[in-house]
Amino acid sequence: MDVLGERWTVLILRELLLGPKRFTQILGRMPSIGPNRLTDRLRTLHAIGAISKSESATEYALTEFGEGLRVPIIGLGLWGLPLMSDGVDPLTARADMVALCMTVATSPRRLAGLALECDVDAGERFSMTVSEGALLVRSRPSTSSAPTTVACDAGTFIALSLGTQKPSAACESGRLAIDGDVEAVGRLFDAFADAAQRHTAAQSA
């Protein structure tokens, strides 16, 4: 806790769970931290071997040691899913973070072959792929040559992930647009909803 208990540290690690990022990209996600404090936190994480720094691209990434925090940090997100049952704040909602939580809660076998690119709130892009038996979420467009794409707002993505809305209804209302494998999108949100409801039920028991 001497390391992780510092304000902002877990949030920085959370961003890097979505893939390598430049200093400015991390700062853009949490501008309130300020560049000086971000520099200090990154220096500490680098010193203990949790992150690496690429000199050529000035990118920060999790090391193997840092990757050991993936399950604990995502576990905190899963714990918080029931808190979203009454709705989400559209100004702070992060669809990519909900998707990240589901990478631990969802069996990749249900989503074999998935290659999906999400455009949330007309500009926030991230990708979801199943590769080598793992579901990965990355803060970048899909590397697939022909990914299925979905476009929606963050609130709709989260409602679909929690199972409070169905893809068919979201498409009919114009809140969700799918280009590609409609069945794969249905499987994805069914798997996410099952995982979210399972965790919520377990916490209520």
What is the pLDDT at residue 87? 67
Global pTM reads: 0.88
Least confident of 87-91, 120-124, 137-141, 174-178: 87-91
- Beta-carbon-side half-sphere exposure of residue 28 (alpha carbons within 13 Å): 7
Residue type, 58: T
Residue 69: Cβ within 10 Å count: 17
Give 13's pLDDT tier (boundaries 50, 70, 90): very high
Q: What percent of the chain has pLDDT over 90?
A: 67
Burial (CB < 10 A; 0-12, 13-18, 19+), residue 148, is: buried
Domains and CATH numbers, the chain: 9-67 (1.10.10.10), 76-204 (3.30.1050.10)
Q: Residues 114, 96, 90, 37: what is their CA dihedral angle, to the nearest 10 degrees?
A: -170
Alpha-carbon torsion 52, 131, 148, 192, what sign?
negative
- Per DSSP, 166 falls in state -
pLDDT tens digits, one per residue of 105-123: 898 888 998 999 999 987 8
57 Cβ neighbours under 8 A, 6+ residues apart: 22
Nearest to 82 by CA among 205, 193, 199: 199
CA gap 15, 152 in Å, rounded: 21
Report phi then psi at 68, rounded to 5: -65, -15
pLDDT tens digits, one per residue of 78-106: 888 877 767 667 667 789 999 999 998 89
Give 205's pLDDT tier (boundaries 50, 70, 90): low
127: tokens are 């990708």
